[in-house]
Every structure is written in C-alpha cells, then in structure tokens.
Amino acid sequence: MTRAKDLIGDIAFDRRRALLMLGTACAAGSTCSANAARATGKTPTKARIVIAGAGAAGLTAASRLAAALDGAQITLIDARKEHFYQPGFTLVGSGIKPVNYVTSSTADYVPMGVEQVQERVAEFDPEGNRVVTESGKAYPYDFLIVATGMQLEYGLIEGMDDKLIGQNGIGSIYHSPAGALATWQAMSAFADRGGRGVFMRPATEMKCAGAPLKYTFVTEDYLTRRGQRGKAEVVYNANNKALFSVPIVSEKVRMLFQARGIKMNYDRVLKAIDPGRKIATFSTPDGMEEQNYDFIHVIPPMRAPEVIRNSPLPWQTGAWSVEGWLEVDQGTLRHVRYRNVFGVGDIAGVPKGKTAASVKWQVPVAVDHMVAEIAGKSSEAVYTGYTSCPLITRLGQAMLVEFDYQNNLVPSFPGVIAPLEELWVSWVMKTMALKPTYISMLRGRA
C-alpha cells in the first residue's frame, strides 16, 4: 500500500488557500514573525559559555548567544551528528510524511563562532564550573546551559526492547525516524485487518504529552477509512484519572473519544509486555491487569539522562527529583542552587514545557537573563509555562492547543484559530507551517 493513500481526495488541499489562511493567522499573532525588538548592538564579553546538548534547545541557545554577544567563547557539546525534527515523528508514524522529513545535520545549524565538540558529556561539575567529556577533556565555563533532553527507558518495561518496534504488532513513534516508520507499517497493517489496538502514556513526565492521544485518533481514523472500524476495538489507557493535564482539554478529548467509540481506562500504567502472546500487563489500583492486543503503541517511561541524574544538578526533593529533572526556577530557567547554570528544553524540571514550542519561549528568557548578567544589568523576562500541542484528531483536522503553567488556554491566533475546535487550518499548521518555524527557531530568528 502506498504511503497515506487514504488522504487522496479526502484532504488534498489548495496550497494558495493554505498560504492565505496562514498569512491571516500570522497577522494575528507573533509565532510566525521574527523578533521585532532585538537589540542592534552586541554585548562585549570574554565569557566562557558551555552548552551541553545540541538538540532544539541547545542549538537555539547557541544561535541566540552568538547573535547577542561579541567575543564570547561558546562551546556546544554533543556527540550527535544528525538532527531530528522530533515533532515530525508523529507524521512519519502516521504515513503523512516520509522518513527523511525529520532528519538533517546538526552542523547545519551551528552558528559561526561557536565551537562544536562532537562528544558526550561524562561529568557535570558545577562546583568546579566545568564539564568533562567522555574522552576526559575538561571544559571550564563561566556560564552553563544544560539542554541534554531526556532519556527513553524502554528497559523499564519488562519484556520490552526497542528492537521489537515494528514486529508482532508493536509500535513506538518516539524511538527514532526508523522506529516511527516501522510503527507506521505496523499500524497500517493493523488498520487493514482490524483487531484490538491498545494505546497508553507512561506515568513519568514525558515529551509531547499529546502524542499518545494523536496516535490513538489517527489509528481510529485509518480503521474507519479502510472499512475495518466495525472489526476493531480501540482502547486508551490513561496513567491517572485524566486524559490531558489541562482539564478543559481533557474533557474535550474524553468527548471525542466517546463519540468515536474509543474505550477509556484510567489509572493504567504499562509494566510488562509479552510479544509472543501479544499480552500487555498494566498496573491498576486493584492490582495487575492483562490486556491482549493486535497492535500496541508503546510509550516508554522517560527521565533525565544518567549523567544528569548522577550529578548535583537535579532537584533534591519533590516530584521532579525521582526522574532527575534539573532544579531550575520555573520563571527564569536559572538553576536554583547554581546561579551560572540554566536548564532549557526537556531537561528542565518545571510543571510544563516538554515540547519544541516551549523551547521557543524558554530559550529567549534564559539567554536574556544570562546576557543581562554579563552586561551588569538585570532582566525581567519570565517564562510563563507556554506549551503548544497541535493535537491531530483525524486526518485533515487538528486542535491547536496552547496553555501555560496555570492551565490557561493562551491562543496565539484569537479570532482565527479556536483552540478546542477541530480545524483544517490547525492541521495545516502542524503538517506544513511548524517545521519552517522550527528551523527559524534553531537559527535564532523565531
């Protein structure tokens, strides 16, 4: 079966109309525009700045610092050579985009004047103001930005191995571009024949918490389009008593699930999987529960990388200490105990913000505070917890859900895009407009 042939005729759209609608949306909000208020002059400094991690947050920080400072020694440390556009993994896993849509080269986004070190950080020493790489080389710093992202922990699910993705009805879009493609192939085969589809999210903090819901919606839609919905049961297992962390969005998803016959289980956490028998075991308030499946979308527990967990940098107590998230102030992203350390992106131990859209708002705040300190000034910049989730609800429609720490809906395009309505323009935003905005963000221009 050719990739996403279900879309032909149903959601083939006029590009001129898409551009017109997106132009209207951009006129109503700030997301599509570059910073209009960027200062024209650079701050002179000899500061040594180390950025640990070259994902979305690290590259964005490098670009903004290079643009703001004159004479700084900026070092970007990460072993990765490929850069993954992770918001596109859902699109690859849904047969909407080809696998190469999400892959580029990290070096393409490293700004001039920034030293790129292709090694892993082996040790963080905030007392000595240095990081040490796996080769044993130490990099002293005056300021440190931690942007290491998070770690997927498939091994914490008994019987699960990432090598199983794409086999025996097991999918997981989070793992990699290849894993997303293998998941699409497994899900598409399931949509061709029907059966029992099992979906879930982990009990840990996670990146893009809307992705488990998106993939449930998309799978149900493929089953419907291929005439197999009557032969299928679709089950979503929430890890707690809600479907989404924002109550009004959770209720909207509940209503959509109910309308589409998607069964909802609450307080279910995947603990084990038996690939041979196609049995998934979940913990419940009443004990363990087995669920059979023909297709299962496994989302592993997620936590801070081991190098962070074994350092002095995580929260020492509280909800974020168990998984090792960085102990930062939620408004400034500055470390609570080490004032010359900032944490941005997935690693930050804050109530919201593990999305690429959050990086767009987090990094300018952290950089503004750092540059102000270098210049002997103070900054009033505050990150309010902005998080965005373009929640696909069926092929050709999505809800553009944006919210903050207080669970307030904070739409970027009021009067143009209603956040809780299934809209074609929100689908266009997700599938067409967000990647160019993301690339602009990496280059420090969004």
Residues with active-site annotation: 208, 389
C-alpha closest to that of 200 among 274, 277, 291: 291
Amino acid at 239: N
Strand partners, 402: 388
Q: Kindly tell me the burial class for residue 14, based on how many C-beta atoms sit within 10 Å of its own C-beta (0-12, 13-18, 19 or more).
A: exposed
Quote the CA–CA distance of 131 and 387 in Å, as a whole number.
30
Question: Helices 356-374 & 434-442, crossing angle to 10 degrees?
Answer: 20
Task: For residue 38, give every residue at least 6 positions away whose Cβ sits within 8 Å of its Cβ, in sequence order, or none.
Answer: 67
Among all chains, which residue has been given the structure tokens 């956040």?
419
By the 8 A CB rule, do 104 and 302 touch? no
Among all chains, which residue has been given the structure tokens 């290849």?
178
C-alpha closest to that of 187 among 432, 3, 10: 3
C-alpha closest to that of 79 among 133, 143, 139, 137: 133
C-alpha closest to that of 221 among 191, 246, 252, 265: 191
Q: Which residues of 366-388 are buried (b: 16+ CB within 10 A; e: fewer)?
A: bbbbbbebbeeeebebebbbbbb
